[in-house]
Homo-oligomer: A and B are copies of this chain.
């Protein structure tokens, strides 16, 4: 029998629910043994719903429960550092939901706490683990798309449920902190996590909701090898949750649709009288549910990787260092939105042993005077070539004899 885990879960909101569904789903051997919520009542209700034997509103007590061997942090952003500190203090492996922190400074403090305590730490970025994403990353690593040039990651919907998300101070920001943390890690995973992000240009707006934070953001992220990532996030989108990724490389392209168009289409005039999908609008007309949300959104594969990594003595695919890098990029986005310029990505930590990856773009100064743009064999047997003439700046055509 393989090792089974007993878990302390901190947080009984929507994300806690998704975690419980996933961790205790199907034939899993792992179990949540302690749930901690804001109040005893909420904790008890959650415990009863998910068959969890112990509940509390005391985070410290929950983290230190001697019967659990892992602490999962699913509390609001402003409590991540505190929760991680408690888990590390208890000497337990800690897994923290996204984003790791409200900003890079807080993320760095978290990194230091965890490094010092030496506990296993995993970053719960589910969308990097969707089955489609995992398979796409594998195909890209095998070369199916050639050199990756561009990634678009989009996550937009009509806004979150809980109050704290809308509170800039508690969350660390608005739609960017909430949604772009997903997009950034998706972009990095497709481009290659070993490739350094160098600078960002970001536009952040508050277009619909009367809030201090931004409810929309778009950014371009430049990587050291010339690849570009592009995210679009919004709390002002109508029509459901739009969750799409696009990757373009020199040899191919990948289009992923995680939510609204997944081969499941339903028209109902009666209304389903039930849950359609996260952030769905309306219960009649054409609806686009997803099959098994926790699976499609990556939660299942994410926890498998986390627990298997822990059991196997290896690092998980997503670590706190990744969470820190995401926070650094988001900080650069916020700076750029203010300065309205490209802002550098100021990384104080990076993976050990990685080399700088150079841009492989075509040289504009060829050895000779001409570069071949393309050539075509003509019906009469001649070869037609288009050449960039670097001296004159013109493109010339050359016909080579049959």
Binding site for B on A (CB under 8 A): 1-2, 4, 23, 26-31, 130-132, 134-136, 138-139, 142-146, 149-150, 152, 156, 159, 163-164, 166-170, 201, 203, 205-212, 216, 218, 220, 222, 226, 228, 230, 232, 234, 236-240, 242, 248-258, 261-274, 281-282, 284-292, 295-296, 300-301, 303-304, 307-308, 340-342, 361-364, 366, 371-374, 386, 388, 390, 393-397
Q: Which residues does chain B contribute within 8 Å of A267, judged by CB atoms?
A: 238-240, 252-254, 281
Q: Would you call A207 and B252 a contact (CB within 8 A)?
A: no
Nearest-neighbor residue (CB-CB) of A366 within chain B: B210
Give A211 to B388 CA distance when docked, in angstroms: 6
Nearest-neighbor residue (CB-CB) of A339 within chain B: B341
Q: Which residues does chain B contribute within 8 Å of A256, judged by CB atoms?
A: 263-265
CB contact under 8 A between A210 and B252, given known A166-B388, A340-B341: no
Q: Would you call B26 and A273 a contact (CB within 8 A)?
A: no
Give A203 to B226 CA distance when docked, in angstroms: 11
In-complex Cβ contact of A210 among B138, B284, B341, B362 (8 A)? B362
Q: Which residues does chain B contribute within 8 Å of A394, judged by CB atoms?
A: 167, 169-170
Q: Which residues does chain B contribute within 8 Å of A207, judged by CB atoms?
A: 149, 226, 361-362
Q: Would you call B28 and A268 a contact (CB within 8 A)?
A: no
- The residue among A138, A169, A240, A286 with the most chain B CB atoms within 10 A of its own CB is A286
Q: Which residues does chain B contribute within 8 Å of A138, judged by CB atoms?
A: 274
Give A135 to B265 CA distance when docked, in angstroms: 12
Q: Would you call B261 and A263 a contact (CB within 8 A)?
A: yes
Q: Would you call B291 and A269 a contact (CB within 8 A)?
A: no
- Sample 15 A-B pairs with CB under 8 A, ordered by A number: A27-B30, A134-B291, A143-B273, A150-B234, A163-B396, A170-B395, A201-B201, A203-B220, A207-B362, A237-B248, A239-B286, A252-B268, A258-B263, A286-B288, A292-B295
Task: Report how many copies the assembly holds.
Answer: 4
Nearest-neighbor residue (CB-CB) of A359 within chain B: B207
A176 to chain B: closest CB distance in Å? Answer: 15
Q: Would you call B144 and A270 a contact (CB within 8 A)?
A: yes
Give A145 to B307 CA distance when docked, in angstroms: 41
CB contact under 8 A between A272 and B209, given known A28-B29, A169-B394, A228-B203: no
Extra pairs beyond A210-B364, A254-B265 (18, CB < 8 Å): A27-B304, A144-B266, A150-B216, A150-B234, A156-B248, A163-B395, A170-B394, A170-B395, A201-B201, A207-B361, A210-B372, A236-B248, A236-B250, A237-B253, A238-B251, A254-B264, A267-B281, A284-B285
A367 to chain B: closest CB distance in Å? Answer: 11
- The residue among A2, A252, A285, A393 with the most chain B CB atoms within 10 A of its own CB is A252
Q: Would you call A295 and B238 a contact (CB within 8 A)?
A: no
In-complex Cβ contact of A205 among B205, B228, B234, B282 (8 A)? B228
Nearest-neighbor residue (CB-CB) of A262 within chain B: B263
Q: Would you call B31 and A28 a contact (CB within 8 A)?
A: no
